[in-house]
């Protein structure tokens, strides 16, 4: 069994081989692998006994899943209404310029992935940016630079 197949087996087992848990299984795999390789999706179909069409339909429907490896550091800018009104588009522009990435892209050296999200639920702190699970409220240009420099 390959590493991926073993991981799928572990995850599917932890969800009691329950077909209803397809989305939860994919979330666990995305979290464990950082992305969803084709092998993993084929294994999920096989081990959970759901058609491969359904696995891909679900995997391609939700924003949480990626079909390509993500960067080591995930940078997410919130574009929710409150953040929008408090300057999120400019924060996104500044961040995109600094990282030299468009939203959805991963840097060639696999260091960063830049994403947007439609509301993180921290609306009072807008505009909000999350880097590797750490939240930043209205980071200044120098704060942004620090964040980028300290992320290997």
Partner 1 sequence: MKGDMGDAITFKIDGREVNARQGMTILEAAGEAGIEIPALCHHRKTRPYGACRICSVEAEKDGKVKVVASCGYPAEPGLVIRTRSPRIDRIRRAVLELVAPQAMLDGDFGGDLKKLADEYGADIHRFEAQLQVKSRRCILCGLCVRYCDEVVGAHAIGFVGRGIDRRVAFFPEKASKVCANCLGCFKICPTGKIGAEADGTYFGFTVDDFLAGRL
Partner 2 sequence: MPTMVSSLEELESLRKDILSRRDHTRPIITVCAGTGCQTYGAADVYQAIVGEVKAQRLETKLEIKATGCHGFCEKGVVVVIHPEEICYVKVTAADAPELVGAAARKILVERLLYVDPVTGQKIAREPDIPFYKNQTRIVFGNNKRIDPKNIEDYVALGGYGALGKALRRMSPEQVLAEVKKADLRGRGGGGFPAGKKWEETRNAPGDIKYVIVNCDEGDPGAYMDRSLMEGNPHAVLEGLLIGAYAVGAREGFVYVRQEYPLACENLNVAIRQAHEHGFLGENILGSGFGFTVKVHRGAGAFVSGESSALMSAIEGKVGEPRMKYVHTAVSGIKGRPSNLNNVETWATVPLIIDKGADWFCSIGTEGSKGTKIFSLVGKVNNTGLVEIPMGMTLREIIYGIGGGIIKGKRFKGVQTGGPSGGILPEQCLDTPVGFDELAKLGSMMGSGGMVVMDEDTCMVDVARYFVNFLCEESCGKCIPCREGLRVLRQILTDICEGRGKPEDIDVIREIAEVMADASLCALGTTAANPVLTTLRYFGEEYEAHIRDKRCPARFCKSLTSYYIDPEKCTACLICLRNCPASAVVGDKGIVHWIDQEKCTKCGVCFEVCPDRFGAVVRISGEPVPPPPMPGTRVVRKHEG
Residue 75: name the closest of 107, 46, 29 by CA. 107
Which of residues 14, 38, 81, 145 is near partner 2 by CB under 8 A?
81
Among 7, 42, 117, 148, binds partner 2 (CB under 8 A): 117
Q: Does 61 participate in binding partner 1 (rule CB under 8 A)?
A: yes
Report the distance separating Cα 60 and Cα 30, nearest Å. Answer: 12
Nearer to partner 2 by C-beta: 10 or 90? 90
Residue 3 sits at φ, ψ, to 5 deg, of -55, -45
- 121 belongs to the binding site for partner 2 (CB under 8 A): yes
52 interface partner picked from partner 2, partner 1, none, CB below 5 to 8 A per type: partner 1
Q: Quick check: 56 binds partner 1 (CB under 8 A)?
A: yes
- Across the beta sheet with 134-137, the strand order is 112-117, 73-78, 128-131, 134-137
d(CA 32, CA 108): 21
Distance of closest approach, residue 134 Cβ to partner 1, in angstroms: 29
123 lies in the site for partner 2, by CB under 8 A? yes
Which 8-state DSSP code applies to residue 100?
T
Helix H, strand E, coil C: the string for 7-43 is: HHHHHHHHCCCCHHHHHHHHHHHHHHHCCCCHHHHHH
Decide: is 17 part of the binding site for partner 2 (CB under 8 A).
no
Is residue 67 a contact point for partner 1 (CB under 8 A)? yes
Distances (CA, A) of 56 to 17, 101, 145: 18, 27, 38
Residues near partner 2, by CB under 8 A: 18-24, 26-27, 50, 54, 57-58, 61-65, 79-86, 90, 93, 97, 117-126, 128, 133, 135-137
Residues near partner 1, by CB under 8 A: 51-54, 56-57, 60-62, 67
């Amino acid at each position: 069994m390959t590493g991926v197949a073993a991981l799928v087996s572990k995850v599917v087992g932890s969800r009691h081989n329950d077909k209803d848990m397809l989305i939860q299984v994919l979330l666990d795999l995305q979290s464990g692998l950082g992305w969803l390789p084709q092998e993993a999706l084929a294994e999920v179909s096989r081990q959970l006994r759901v058609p491969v069409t359904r696995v891909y339909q679900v995997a391609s429907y939700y924003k949480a899943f990626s079909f390509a490896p993500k960067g080591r550091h995930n940078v997410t800018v919130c574009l929710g209404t409150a953040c929008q009104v408090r300057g999120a588009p400019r924060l996104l522009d500044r961040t995109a310029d600094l990282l030299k990435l468009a939203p959805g892209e991963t840097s060639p050296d696999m260091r960063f992935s830049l994403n947007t999200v439609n509301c993180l639920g921290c609306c009072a702190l807008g505009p909000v940016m999350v880097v590797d699970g750490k939240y930043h409220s209205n980071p200044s240009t120098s704060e942004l630079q620090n964040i980028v420099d300290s992320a290997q």
